[in-house]
Structure 1
């Protein structure tokens, strides 16, 4: 294997640093969501439904980067806690459109504020322009790799 084919030193690998950033963000989000009795996946589900009411299990799973089976467990748990509603039967097709209850909307507001505080802390060393550039650069990088969907 040539030097060009190998990853090289991990500290110099953009992918490795991205994974470190993702792990740090996930850990910090978990810490602020735990007192609200939410996991990161549950928060992602609430956030998605807050922005797009009526999403199906499959759409939510894709948006939260989890499998459909995992999302089904997330949805069941949130429904059991009264944070969302799903009809017993699909109005058309097989998808059960899901919506937040008023309790779910209240929980989402608290969780969103907590997560935003983590983002502010993480990106505080960067100017607004640097944050914009980082986001735009990451969007370009994501677009360069074919989408892989969890099953």
Structure 2
């Protein structure tokens, strides 16, 4: 019997949607969304990166990331400084670093709940399979 690839793709999408909703709900009390927290994570990993590089890292368009960065700047979580040419470079502020850290603590609980149905061997296997699936993605 052949695996129904459409159903498999839909199952991956449902798991991601469940994760996104759970993380959004858990982060709401600290005043940030999953998209904002993901941007903070990307900025922490890539300090002084351009908006374009951060947009690519967070799966957003340049315009969407620019709007998001403006909101994070207005909230005092990041700074945007002039780089070469028209490039804006992004850095976390102490407020952004604090939100990022609390977000990490929240993520641990959310992800433990999300992956609770799987034992450690299943989690390792899932990680291996997803890594193989994404190996050739550019």
TM-score by length of 1: 0.81
Superposition map of 1:42-57 within 5 A: 42-57=36-51
Give the stretch that moved more between structures: 118-127 or 68-77: 118-127
Shift in Å at residue 127 of structure 1? Answer: 2.4
Q: CA deviation at 1:125?
A: 2.1
Rg (Cα) greater in structure: 1
Offset, 1:46: 0.5
Q: Identify which of 41, 59, 66 aligns with 2:60.
A: 66
1:109 to 92, 101, 113: 101
- Looking at structure 2, the residues matched to 68 and 116 of structure 1 have their Cα atoms a distance apart, in angstroms, of 29
When the two structures are aligned, how many residues end up with a matched partner? Answer: 137
* Partner SS state of residue 136, structure 1: helix
Instruction: State whether residues 84 and 101 of structure 1, in contact with CA within 8 Å, keep that contact through their aligned partners in structure 2.
Output: yes
**Could you tell me whether the CA contact under 8 Å between 1:84 and 1:99 is conserved in 2?**
yes
TM-score normalized with structure 2 length:
0.89
Give 1:8-87 correspondences, 5 Å limit: 13-87=7-81
Query: Structure 1 stretches of 5 or more lacking a match?
Result: none
Counterpart check, 1:141 vs 2:133? yes
Which one scores higher on RCO, CA 8 angstroms, separation ≥ 6?
1
Would you say 1:131 and 2:108 are equivalent positions?
no
Root-mean-square deviation (Å): 2.0
Q: Greater CA deviation, 70-79 or 117-126?
A: 117-126
**Structure 2: gaps (5+ residues):** none
Q: Residue by residue, what CA displacement relative to the aligned partner does 1:7-50 show, whole Å, maximum 9, x if unpaired?
A: 9596xx21010011011001101101111111221110011112
DSSP-derived class of the 1:97 partner: strand
